[in-house]
């Protein structure tokens, strides 16, 4: 049985300490044996890169304002224990639910997330959050491009999201979007977006690699399996907003 500890605040900026102990620590990329078929990415680094890509912003926090960094990362070489201290600013509080779900889905004996006071903070921090009841990050609006959501025949398969540019973007921008799709897919694979009533371990996807469909369209598809909350798609809409504000005009985001 996993021992859980959760004491997180809703105010930003904040420093978040994540501690884990258990078998899946040995599957982290920094610890995994060469024979490990599915190493787990460094969780602290994954959360920080997702925040910087705008994937953890939302209605409450413009995704292009997010700031995140790993202050300390430690992996104990003598036992399966790891910890990260992250500095987070201008992310949606619902992002904390995503992070916690990722921990809940792991094979661990202990897992905890705790907010600590940044040195420059004065006055009381906000009260502790009931993370499991937080809504997932929403779409930041108003959007400067079309958002088309086609109701799927089956929510559990044949799903896809496309970012469509107004004109062919530079290769570097395509690579940026492909990288964001990769980060988002990692969060989905690791159980970050279970539906209400679904265990985090039951959530996950079978993705195809993201690819450039044509000169103006980049796509991520899940033809075989998609077990996640519909709000998961908001992350890529918010990333498209970041790219659009960076000077590469997006015409539409299509979700099916």
pLDDT value at residue 251 = 98
Report the chain's terminal Cα–Cα distance, integer Å.
38
Residues 6+ apart with CB under 8 A from 136: 58, 94, 97, 98, 193, 229, 231, 232, 234
**Is the pLDDT reported for residue 84 higher than 90?**
yes
Q: What is the pLDDT of residues 96-118, one digit of tens each?
A: 999 999 999 999 999 999 999 76
User: Beta strand 159-165 with 250-255: parallel, antiparallel or unpaired?
Assistant: antiparallel
pLDDT value at residue 59 = 85
Distance CA 61, CA 90 (A): 6
Distance CA 173, CA 53 (A): 12
Q: How far is CA 230 from the centre of its chain?
A: 14
Find the DSSP H helices in the chain.
43-52, 94-104, 171-189, 234-245
pLDDT value at residue 60 = 81
> Taking residues 108-135, what's their average pLDDT?
80
What CATH number has the domain spanning 3-121? 3.30.70
Q: What is the pLDDT of residues 157-210, one digit of tens each?
A: 999 999 999 999 999 999 999 999 999 999 999 999 999 999 999 999 999 999
Domain ranges of the chain: 3-121, 146-255
Q: Measuring CA to CA, which residue among 188, 182, 178 is closest to residue 233?
A: 188
Distance CA 197, CA 53 (A): 28
Asked: is 146-255 a CATH 3.30.70 domain? The reply is yes
Check residue 96 and report its DSSP letter: H
**Is the pLDDT reported for residue 129 higher than 90?**
no
User: Beta strand 3-7 with 110-116: parallel, antiparallel or unpaired?
Assistant: parallel
Q: Which two tokens stand for residue 156?
A: 């559990």
**Is the pLDDT reported for residue 121 higher than 70?**
no
For residue 13, cis peptide bond before it (omega within 30 degrees of 0): yes
pLDDT value at residue 118 = 64
pLDDT value at residue 38 = 87
pLDDT more than 90, % of the chain: 83
Top pLDDT among 129 and 99 is at: 99
- 219 forms beta bridges with 162, 211
**Is the pLDDT reported for residue 16 higher than 80?**
yes
pLDDT value at residue 120 = 60
- Do the two domains 3-121 and 146-255 of this chain adopt the same fold? yes
> Taking residues 124-134, what's their average pLDDT?
78
Distance CA 13, CA 68 (A): 9
């Amino acid at each position: 049985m996993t021992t859980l500890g959760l004491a997180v605040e809703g105010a930003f900026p904040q420093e978040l300490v994540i501690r884990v102990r258990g078998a899946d620590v040995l599957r982290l990329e920094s610890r995994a044996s060469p024979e490990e078929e599915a190493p787990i990415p460094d969780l602290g680094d994954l959360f920080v890169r997702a925040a910087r890509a705008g994937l953890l912003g939302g209605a409450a926090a413009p995704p292009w304002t997010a700031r995140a960094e790993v202050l300390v990362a430690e992996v104990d070489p003598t036992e399966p224990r790891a910890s990260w201290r992250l500095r987070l600013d201008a992310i949606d509080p619902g992002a904390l639910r995503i992070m916690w779900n990722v921990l809940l889905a792991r094979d661990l004996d202990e897992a905890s997330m705790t907010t600590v006071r940044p040195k420059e903070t004065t006055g009381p921090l906000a009260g502790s959050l009931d993370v499991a009841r937080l809504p997932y990050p929403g779409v930041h609006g108003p959007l400067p491009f079309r958002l088309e959501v086609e109701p799927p025949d089956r929510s559990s398969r044949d799903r896809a999201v496309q970012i469509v540019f107004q004109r062919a973007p530079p290769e570097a921008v395509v690579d940026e979007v492909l990288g964001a799709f990769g980060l988002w897919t990692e969060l989905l694979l690791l159980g970050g977006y279970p539906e209400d009533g679904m265990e985090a371990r039951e959530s996950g996807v079978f993705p195809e690699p993201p690819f450039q469909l044509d000169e103006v369209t980049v796509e991520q598809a899940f033809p075989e399996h998609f077990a996640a909350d519909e709000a998961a798609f908001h992350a890529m809409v918010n990333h498209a907003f970041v790219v659009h504000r960076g000077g590469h005009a997006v015409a539409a985001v299509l979700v099916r």
